[in-house]
């Protein structure tokens, strides 16, 4: 039966829930930062599965880890622990501020755990009145109902009935807006060091340090959502390390698994103690297959030479984008850090990021958008300079197509 099915884009419309509108191409294989579709057409991957494929496609270390673990044990559930989960947790603890790790399947689940932990911590220590979570406009924290409500984009949470309460939104990079909301009723402030879906907007050091101080003053936890910025993407293992600021809770996913679904919440021993047995859980969280792959990602990425490569790749991206902008005058600025960059469209091309995204695909380049005004790049951390140059040549053809009006 399986052999008779022809997987086409039209089949998607027949059998899949229509909440996605995928491109017409169907990729079937990848190697490094190159991908091939059903027609064997090659693409350079500047998208990385939305900042997920941290080591590109089919990296030998990840293939080996998955293959070896697949011959051992796949699943146990959390009535037992397993070796890959313990090894990975130990490495995360040793490399960060954290004492304790909770494993999940995704960034949304890691954030769900973080928000629940913050609420439980505040309830236990201060009482039921301390339940407010402060987030930020344009933020994104996942698609569960709790996380999408905490996220600062109402379009994603509207239309599903009553939303979880005691969630308010300040303005990112505006410390005064946080001061106006925070009080002794605040249990946590959650922020992304670089807002991803909101347009690749980096938090300033002054702002992030100021939020940390406000949390200290009001006995509130600082939750850093590093789902998109974590695991080397900014040139440090985690982006908080750039700021001289330590969070109370950190969430990580995406690049952590290099393409295998995994997420984690990291925190201190004292805060973690409030998630007692039975208060939260996940059937697949800490799955041996996922943790074995994530351990291989961690072992590969957590080296000074890889971090240096991320920063040198950033400079090459910025140089190439600046050169293209000198010729075509389409960007107002390039934002972001490391291998998480956003090319912000100027007034003339405002609202047309999708046009550039589609044109890029026409010319054999996989890119992303971050809202209507920003083209997002989140490729492999170890993408080669050669692939960057080829990708930029293809991006130039896409820019030409849009500028000439031949979409």
How high is the pLDDT of residue 204?
A: 97
pLDDT at 40 over 80: yes
The annotation status of 144 as a binding-site residue, yes or no, is: no
pLDDT digits (tens, 9 = 90+) for 115-151: 999 999 999 999 999 999 999 999 999 999 999 999 9
- Domains of the chain as residue ranges with CATH: 2-58+304-403 (3.90.1150.10), 72-301 (3.40.640.10)
pLDDT at 328 over 90: yes
Whole-number Å distance between alpha carbons of 40 and 26: 10
Inter-CA distances, 189 with 108, 139, 221, Å:
17, 12, 6
Q: Which of 321, 326, 323, 347 is nearest to 336 (CA)?
A: 321
Whole-number Å distance between alpha carbons of 253 and 225: 10
Residue with tokens 């559930």: 77
pLDDT at 245 over 50: yes
- Token pair, residue 391, equals 């990708």
pTM of the model: 0.95
**What is the mean predicted confidence (pLDDT) over 356-374?**
96
How high is the pLDDT of residue 407?
A: 47
- Token pair, residue 400, equals 């030409």
How high is the pLDDT of residue 405?
A: 83
The annotation status of 140 as a binding-site residue, yes or no, is: yes
The annotation status of 226 as a binding-site residue, yes or no, is: yes
- What is the CB-side half-sphere exposure of residue 72 using CA atoms within 13 A? 14
Helices (H), 266-381: 269-272, 288-301, 304-328, 353-362
Between CA 192 and CA 200, with CA 194 as vertex, the angle to 5 degrees is 130
For residues 373 and 345, the answer to whether their CB atoms sit within 8 Å is yes
**What is the mean predicted confidence (pLDDT) over 38-55?**
97
Whole-number Å distance between alpha carbons of 33 and 23: 19
Three-class secondary structure of residue 65 per DSSP? helix
Helices (H), 71-138: 83-95, 107-126
Three-class secondary structure of residue 343 per DSSP? strand
The annotation status of 398 as a binding-site residue, yes or no, is: no
The annotation status of 228 as a binding-site residue, yes or no, is: yes
Whole-number Å distance between alpha carbons of 389 and 394: 9
The annotation status of 107 as a binding-site residue, yes or no, is: yes
**Beta-carbon neighbour count of residue 7 at 10 Å?**
10
Three-state secondary structure readout of 149-194: HHCCCHHHHCCCCCCCCCEEEECCCCHHHHHCCCCCCEEEEEECCE
Cβ neighbors of 399 (< 8 A, separation 6 or more) are 324, 328, 330, 356, 359
Q: Please state the φ and ψ torsions of residue 35, each to the nearest 5 degrees.
A: -135, 145
Tell me how many helices (H) and strands (E) the chain has.
Answer: 14, 17
pLDDT at 1 over 80: no
Residue with tokens 């060091």: 193
- Token pair, residue 395, equals 């991006």
pLDDT digits (tens, 9 = 90+) for 150-204: 999 999 999 999 999 999 999 999 999 999 999 999 999 999 999 998 999 999 9
How high is the pLDDT of residue 406?
A: 57
pLDDT digits (tens, 9 = 90+) for 258-305: 999 999 999 999 999 999 999 999 999 999 999 999 999 999 999 999
Three-class secondary structure of residue 309 per DSSP? helix
- What is the CB-side half-sphere exposure of residue 344 using CA atoms within 13 A? 12
Q: What DSSP designation does 47 have? A: S
């Amino acid at each position: 039966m399986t052999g008779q099915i022809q997987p086409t884009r039209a089949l998607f419309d027949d059998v899949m829930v229509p909440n996605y509108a995928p491109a017409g191409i169907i990729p079937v294989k990848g190697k490094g930062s190159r991908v091939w579709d059903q027609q064997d057409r090659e693409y350079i991957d500047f998208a990385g599965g939305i900042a997920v494929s941290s080591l590109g496609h089919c990296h030998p270390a990840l293939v080996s880890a998955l293959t070896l673990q697949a011959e051992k044990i796949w699943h146990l559930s959390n009535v037992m622990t397993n070796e890959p989960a313990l090894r990975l947790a130990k490495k995360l603890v040793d490399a960060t501020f954290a004492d304790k790790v909770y494993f999940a399947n995704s960034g949304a689940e890691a954030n769900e755990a973080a928000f629940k932990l913050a609420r439980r911590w505040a309830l236990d220590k201060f009482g039921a009145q301390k339940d407010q979570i402060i987030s930020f406009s344009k933020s994104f924290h996942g698609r569960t109902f709790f996380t999408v409500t905490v996220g600062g984009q109402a379009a994603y949470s509207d239309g599903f009935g009553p939303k979880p309460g005691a969630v308010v939104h300040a303005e990112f990079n505006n410390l005064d807006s946080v001061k106006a909301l925070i009080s002794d009723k605040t249990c946590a402030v959650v922020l992304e060091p670089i807002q991803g879906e909101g347009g690749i907007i980096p938090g300033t050091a002054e702002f992030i340090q100021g939020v940390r101080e406000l949390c200290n003053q009001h006995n509130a936890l600082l939750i850093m959502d590093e789902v998109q910025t974590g695991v080397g993407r900014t040139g440090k293992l985690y982006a908080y390390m750039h700021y001289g600021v330590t969070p109370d809770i950190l969430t990580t996913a995406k690049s952590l698994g290099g393409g295998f679904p995994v997420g984690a919440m990291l925190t201190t021993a004292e805060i973690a103690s409030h998630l007692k047995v039975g208060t939260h859980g996940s059937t697949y969280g800490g799955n041996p297959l996922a943790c074995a792959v994530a351990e291989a990602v961690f072992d590969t990425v957590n080296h000074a030479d890889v971090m240096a490569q991320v920063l040198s790749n950033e400079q090459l991206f910025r140089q190439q984008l600046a050169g293209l902008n000198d010729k075509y005058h389409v960007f107002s600025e390039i934002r972001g850090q490391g291998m998480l960059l956003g090319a912000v469209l100027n007034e003339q091309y405002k609202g047309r990021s999708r046009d550039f995204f589609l044109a890029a695909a026409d010319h054999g380049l996989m890119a992303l958008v971050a809202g209507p005004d920003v083209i997002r790049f989140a490729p492999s951390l170890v993408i080669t300079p050669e692939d960057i140059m080829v990708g930029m040549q293809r991006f130039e053809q896409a820019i030409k197509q849009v500028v000439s009006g031949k979409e």
